[in-house]
Amino acid sequence: MSKLLRQVSRALQGLAAATVAAAAFGGAAQAQTAPQVLRVTAIPDESPTELARKFAPLGKYLEKELGVKVEWTPVTDYAAAVEAVVNKKIDLAWFGGFTFVQANVRSGGKIVPLVQREEDEKFRSVFVTDAHSGITRLEDLKGKTLSFGSASSTSGHLMPRSFLLAAKINPETDLKRVSFSGAHDATVAAVASGKVDAGALNISVWEKLVADKKVDTSAVKVFYTTPPFYDYNWSVHADMPAALQAKLKAAFLKLSPATPEGKEILELQRATKFVPTKPENYTGIKAAAENAGLLK
């Protein structure tokens, strides 16, 4: 009888252990369950209507590729985009190089950059001015007024500031006034209206404004183009299930201008194609931010 009891006891212990293990596994699996709705945002480097227009076809494409609903969630400013991803309120975000670095630092290295446009491997900024201002080089900005985009913009503030400092121009002491427009297209508008003598913005937005004839190049001109640097990417939180991260990356990499759908999406994203990226690509951005005292 005692032998039978011992066998029963061992069986019950084994069942209890299996139940605990199953519960633990179930909890882990639940934590790694793919979301039913993929929440997406982007840093507001252009007007809200333009961002929504650019994303609409991409959102439909991702819904089809992932099999989940994709929800566009605009944010008010760059800092809000960073906090939303760090706190997992957003699943996928279009970051600039600097906002990626900020989010990665804030999260303790938990932000994963999945893909970037091929253009983002050698991105540039432009400085623009009134065509009749007499400003032809960075040194001519001394004593003038200048508008950056957002304070957290890579191509609209951090890198232009970095190249100004490299040219031995301190924006705070050598310029008459520095302002922040909040977005690249708003910077061009500030220059065109005479609110500032010059402005710095990303080259992609400038070229799009020129192509769409939304800026008069006989009135506003580029007088300096920066050397290349890494910039934008699509990022997720590291807690997103690995399988979903892989599906997202594959969906972006599959986009091709050879298909009508891919052509439309890539043109709206101002991309020839998407390529894989990694955190190491943004060490130069982080160094520039630390050097400029902009990374807290």
Token pair in block for residue 45: 């480097």
Contacts 24+ apart (CB under 8 A), 249-253: 249/114, 249/115, 249/276, 250/65, 251/61, 251/62, 251/65, 251/66, 252/114, 252/115, 253/115
Helix (H, G, I), strand (E, B) or coil at 244: helix
Classify residue 253 as exposed, middle or buried by CB count within 10 Å of its CB (0-12, 13-18, 19+): middle
Could you give the CA distance from residue 17 to residue 254 in angstroms, rounded to a whole number? Answer: 45
Residue with tokens 């020129």: 210
pLDDT in tens, 82-125: 999 999 999 999 999 999 999 999 999 999 999 999 999 999 99
Task: Specify the length of the chain in residues.
Answer: 296
Q: What is the reported pTM?
A: 0.81
pLDDT in tens, 225-277: 999 999 999 999 999 999 999 999 999 999 999 999 999 999 999 999 999 99
- At residue 27, the pLDDT reads 39
Cα three-residue angle 78-50-153, rounded to 5 degrees: 25
- DSSP H stretches of helix in the chain: 2-31, 48-66, 78-86, 97-106, 159-166, 171-174, 184-192, 203-211, 242-254, 260-268, 283-291
Q: Pick the closest to residue 155 from 216, 207, 229, 89 (CA basis).
A: 229
